């Protein structure tokens, strides 16, 4: 079965007409996810690869594409791109993906890949060991969290335009959790292919772009366009504590006792308003639209298979302006 999956994956990567841009929504996890359960947003590009994490190029035959996202404190860059397999599993070869992990194994896999490929961006700690920092978000995402994907088709011309634009623009840290967060960057990349596909929700998220709202908005856009997006889930690799359900801003307030109880006691009208906003505009769940479960080694194969199911009525891509909206607007 593993050989069959690998064959399907490589076949998908070699099919130039089946390329896709996919919004990836990662569930929150760990201590930070406890206090900020909005999760993480990234973009998977099946025909765009990276010679370096900060420089893109068209994929060669057999390559599986890259995942690109905005980060806060990694090497001073605004965005970084990592090949699909290392992004999910911190290894170069599919056959090296473990069936289960513990925290020590995950740390070893990440540090080994960092030493081979990222030392210029993430140097060793003063003692020569693995450094601390946010760089761990670049590798092994599926060890920490379940990810949900929503994919639309792309054209070679639009992929090349995106590559040219991102390679030519300054790539310096611009992260702001309110107006230039990871979901804002994902929105801007999606808009390069499908203008207006993702919109903020002032009611449910107080105008902040969240991964959940990006997914909700993209599903609605695809439905309005008549073709529908391809929906899939990349399950978390067993071993680490399970990630949590992704939430919006007001949902985080009304569904978390650590926030709701103080609000009810101090500002009950704020709690009531947040509950109303969540009930009226924030109840979308990415888990409800997932059509296929993609096991570790065949995300591109899933995208390929899902796109085949939409050939009869696909969304027509409409390229955006030759710039990305960088201010989160």
Integer Cα distance of 163 and 146 in angstroms: 28
Kindly report, residue by residue over 191-233, the tens digit of the pLDDT. 999 999 998 877 656 778 989 889 988 988 988 887 667 788 8
Return the SS3 of 205. Answer: helix
Handedness of CA 10, 16, 18, 23 (dihedral sign): positive
What does the DSSP 8-state code read for residue 47? T
Residue 326, pLDDT > 50, answer no
Please report the pLDDT score of residue 93 as a whole number.
87
- DSSP letters along 284-327, please? --GGGG--EE--TT-HHHHHHHHHHTTGGGPPPP----SS--TT
- With beta carbons less than 8 A apart as the criterion, state whether 253 and 273 touch: no
Beta bridge partner(s), residue 50: 56
Please report the pLDDT score of residue 207 as a whole number.
76
Please report the pLDDT score of residue 11 as a whole number.
41
Give residues with Cβ within 8 angstroms of 139, minimum separation 6.
82, 86, 87, 90, 109, 110, 113, 114
Integer Cα distance of 296 and 5 in angstroms: 10
Kindly report, residue by residue over 112-148, the tens digit of the pLDDT. 999 999 999 999 999 999 999 999 999 999 999 999 9
Integer Cα distance of 63 and 56 in angstroms: 13
In this structure, the strands spanning 20-26 and 147-153 are antiparallel
Residue 327, pLDDT > 80, answer no
Please report the pLDDT score of residue 305 as a whole number.
59
CA dihedral 318, 60, 121, 214 (to 10 degrees): 30
Kindly report, residue by residue over 45-70, the tens digit of the pLDDT. 989 999 899 999 999 987 889 999 99
Give residues with Cβ within 8 angstroms of 56, minimum separation 6.
48, 49, 50, 66, 68, 81, 162, 163, 166, 167
Please report which confidence band the pLDDT of residue 268 belongs to, taking 50, 70 and 90 as the band edges.
low
Residue 261, pLDDT > 70, answer no
Neighbours of 289 (CB within 10 A): 18
């Amino acid at each position: 079965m593993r050989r069959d999956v690998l064959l399907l994956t490589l076949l998908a990567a070699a099919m130039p007409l089946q390329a896709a841009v996919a919004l990836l929504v990662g569930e929150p996890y760990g201590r930070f996810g406890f206090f900020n359960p909005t999760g993480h947003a990234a973009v998977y590009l099946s025909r765009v690869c990276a010679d370096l994490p900060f420089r893109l190029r068209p994929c060669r035959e057999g390559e599986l594409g890259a995942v690109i996202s905005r980060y806060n404190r990694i090497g001073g860059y605004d965005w970084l791109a990592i090949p699909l397999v290392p992004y999910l599993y911190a290894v170069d070869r599919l056959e090296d993906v473990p069936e289960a992990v513990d925290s020590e194994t995950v740390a070893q896999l990440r540090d080994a890949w960092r030493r081979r490929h990222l030392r210029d961006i993430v140097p060793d700690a003063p003692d020569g060991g693995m450094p601390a920092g946010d760089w761990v978000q670049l590798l092994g995402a599926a060890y920490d969290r379940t990810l949900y994907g929503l994919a639309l088709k792309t054209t070679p011309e639009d992929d090349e335009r995106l590559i040219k634009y991102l390679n030519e623009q300054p790539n310096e840290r611009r992260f702001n959790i309110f107006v230039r967060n990871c979901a804002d960057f994902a929105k801007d990349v999606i808009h390069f292919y499908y203008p207006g596909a993702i919109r903020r929700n002032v009611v449910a998220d107080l105008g902040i772009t969240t991964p959940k709202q990006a997914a909700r908005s993209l599903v609605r856009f695809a439905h309005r366009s008549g073709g529908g997006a391809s929906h899939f889930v990349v399950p978390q690799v067993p071993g680490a504590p399970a990630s949590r359900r992704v939430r919006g801003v007001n949902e985080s307030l009304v569904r978390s006792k650590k926030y709701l109880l103080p609000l009810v006691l101090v500002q009950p009208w704020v709690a009531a308003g947040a509950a109303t906003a969540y009930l009226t505009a924030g109840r979308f769940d990415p888990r409800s639209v997932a059509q296929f479960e993609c096991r570790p080694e065949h995300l591109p194969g899933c995208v390929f298979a899902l796109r085949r199911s939409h050939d009869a009525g696909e969304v027509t891509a409409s390229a955006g302006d030759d710039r990305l909206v960088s201010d989160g607007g």
